[in-house]
Structure 1
């Protein structure tokens, strides 16, 4: 009987050990709207330098579109990962309401920030 209890405990631990490591929090959605992306400027120019072609629109559900096409994203907790379409592989961190910051391949926050500017333009 003791052996079966030990085996059951080991099996339970094995299941816990194989749980997804990437599960960071509840699934949620970004606010619908147009997002403009920019890099910080400097004291000799404007505070933000908009990056042509980096903007996108959250169109509903977990969908987005850019000038190059549309795709989907996954938001777990504050981590946003673009899973399909032209931004596939891009990762961002939600900083606050309508503000995202790009996450580099090394897991560190990058310089690019994207903020919601208003409703989706049709």
Structure 2
């Protein structure tokens, strides 16, 4: 009987330790540094067309800054959602280390891509 009680208690504790974290997904952080955003070009011109005013920097923790101000983001798995500041409501998908692609309101990947170009300046 004692052994059954120990087993039940251990199972309950294990469920508490893993339940909420698994349900909400794993929170992560983006690589710190400057990110440049661009749209794909075409065969007759540049391969990428940088989008003025779309660049940002990941400054530490879950914070970012742009020329228009600073804010915060939330990253769950590969999904990045900018929650405060000038990019509030923007969603991106992390494709790889230092590479993000914008997610449209319809949930589909858009054309805009942002890539990390180096450490933050200033």
TM band (smaller chain): 0.7 to 0.9
Secondary structure, aligned partner of 1:111? strand
Question: 1:48 maps to which residue?
Answer: 48
Task: Flag structure 2 segments of 5+ consecutive residues without an equivalent.
Answer: 1-19
Task: Flag structure 1 segments of 5+ consecutive residues without an equivalent.
Answer: 1-18
Between structures 1 and 2, the one with greater helix share = 2
Question: 1:111 maps to which residue?
Answer: 111
Question: 1:9 maps to which residue?
Answer: none
Give the drift of 1:47. 0.4
Which digits, 9 at most, give the CA deviation of each residue in 1:34-57, with x for residues without a partner?
000000000000100000000000
- RMSD, aligned α-carbons: 1.2
Measured in 1, the distance between the counterparts of 2:97 and 2:61 equals 17
Measured in 1, the distance between the counterparts of 2:82 and 2:97 equals 18
Deviating 4+ runs (over 6 angstroms): none
Question: 2:64 maps to which residue?
Answer: 64
Measured in 2, the distance between the counterparts of 1:30 and 1:120 equals 13
Question: 1:34 maps to which residue?
Answer: 34
